[in-house]
Structures are given as C-alpha cells and as structure tokens.
Amino acid sequence: MSDARINPSILAADFVNMQADLARIANADFVHVDVMDNHFVPNLTFGPQMVQRIQETSPVPLDVHLMITDADRWAPGYAELGAASVTFHLEAAEHPVALARRLRQIGSRAGVAVKPTTAVEPLFDVLDEFDQILVMTVEPGFGGQSFLADQLPKLTRLYDEARRRGSQVWLQVDGGISESTIARAAAAGADTFVAGSAVFGAADPDAAIAALRARAASAHRH
C-alpha cells in the first residue's frame, strides 16, 4: 500500500476558529466532516450551509460522513456541494446501490458506512458499487469514544473479500483512532483512517498526521 490516508475529523476542531484549524491540517488526505441530524444518532452538528463553507475554506478535499435518516433523499445534495467523498449509512438507505450510483454520477466518491452491530457480509456482492466502506469502531454520534477492537474482524473479512474479487474499494475506519490503535486497524486491513482528537488535540497537527500515516503504512496487511 502507498501511504495510508489520514482524514482528521472536524468534530475535534475548534468550531469558532474552523478556518484556522483547517489550515493546520494541510498535509491531511481529506478532512472528515460528520453531519448528524439528532435522529439517526443522538447528536446534532450542522448541515449543508456549514459544509459548503468548509468546502470553500478547506485546503484538502472533503470526506463527508452522513449520520442522518433518509440518506436517499439528502445525500446527493452534499455531492452537489462539491464534496470529494460522500458516505451514507447502510442502515439509513432504502436503495444503497442506486444511491451510490447517483453520488458517482454527480461526481463524488460514494461511501457506505456500517454501525458496530451491522454485518458487512451483505456488501460482498456489491463491493465495486462503492469507492469506500466505513467500519465504525465506536457507536456513531459522538467524538472521543473508546476504540472497539471487536470490530476489527469486519475489516479483515472485507479486506480478504476485496482481494479475492480484485476490488479497489477503500476500507475506512472511524472511532478511537490514535497512535496506539491505528496499527491494529491497519493490520486488520484498513487503509483510510479518521482521527479526531489525535490530530486536533496535538500541539502540531501536521506532525501528528505524519506520525499516524507512517504507523499505519508500516502495519498494513499485504
């Protein structure tokens, strides 16, 4: 694998000084933007207007993670804002393959996410309909939670199936990612990592990103 992708989560950024915090992660691969509606998850963040402003000011592309109900209706709007990647939850989509195709048609990468209690096996036959599969290693809704190591076998099953099928799908992990957990996620098969406080809580976010990337790249399965 080439360098691991590190996507800092703005849930851990300073919302009042967002532009300044975004400037501190210019060496990230993407910025991870969590959209929550207080229905699908018990938290409320922001919607299209805020995402549009982040899009206009971010030095790196946007990786939007929609933790919202009725993804079929709302997800395409985020692709239309220019987000490089839009991920919706499998549990919140009536027609996930059709939605992924719509996102790609608009020009975004299409991702699908699964909660800790959701099996990944139903995705095996449609891997190439998605550009990214996100395995949550916390219950979605809040930053700063502890890493759920019992989700790592899901990543390994996805990795093995993708290899077997020759799929180029990215395997993303989100939740509790730090220097102490990223190697385990990489060893399980992840190649794209969402990190919040491990980046924005560091004195030097750029150095933290570089350290996470190096640690993941050295541990990744081959």
Instruction: Extract the tokens encoding 74.
Output: 């709302």
The answer, yes or no, to whether residue 143 has pLDDT greater than 80, is: no
Catalytic residue chosen out of the listed positions 21, 29, 34, 191: 34
pLDDT (tens digit, 9 = 90+) per residue, 78-115?
999 999 999 999 999 999 999 999 999 999 999 999 99
Identify which of 97, 47, 99, 98 has the alpha carbon closest to the alpha carbon of residue 68: 47
Q: How many structural domains compose the chain?
A: 1
Task: Give the bridge partners for 5, in sequence order.
Answer: 192
- Measured CA to CA, the distance from residue 5 to residue 26 in angstroms comes to 13
Q: For residues 113 and 153, is the Cβ–Cβ distance under 8 A?
A: no
Residue ranges in the chain assigned as alpha helix (H): 18-23, 48-57, 71-80, 96-106, 152-165, 182-188, 197-200, 205-219
**pLDDT tens digit string along 43-71?**
999 899 999 999 999 999 999 999 999 99
Q: How far apart are the first and last CA of the chain?
A: 8
CATH number at residue 210: 3.20.20.70
Domain limits at 82? 5-219
Residue 1 banded pLDDT, cuts 50, 70, 90 = very low
Q: Which helix (H) or strand (E) holds 64?
A: strand 62-67
How far apart, in whole angstroms, are the C-alpha atoms of residue 24 and residue 126? 37
Task: Average the pLDDT over 175-198 and give the result.
Answer: 96
Who wins on pLDDT, 220 or 48? 48
Mean pLDDT of 193-199: 96
- Residue 145's closest CA among 186, 183, 188, 174? 174
Cβ neighbours of residue 156 closer than 8 Å, sequence gap 6 or more: 188, 189, 221
Question: Catalytic site residue 174?
Answer: yes
Mean pLDDT for the stretch of residues 152-163? 97
Q: Say if residue 160's pLDDT is above 50.
A: yes
- Output the pLDDT for position 3: 67
With both helix axes pointing from N to C terminus, report the angle between 71-80 and 96-106 in degrees, rounded to the nearest 10. 10
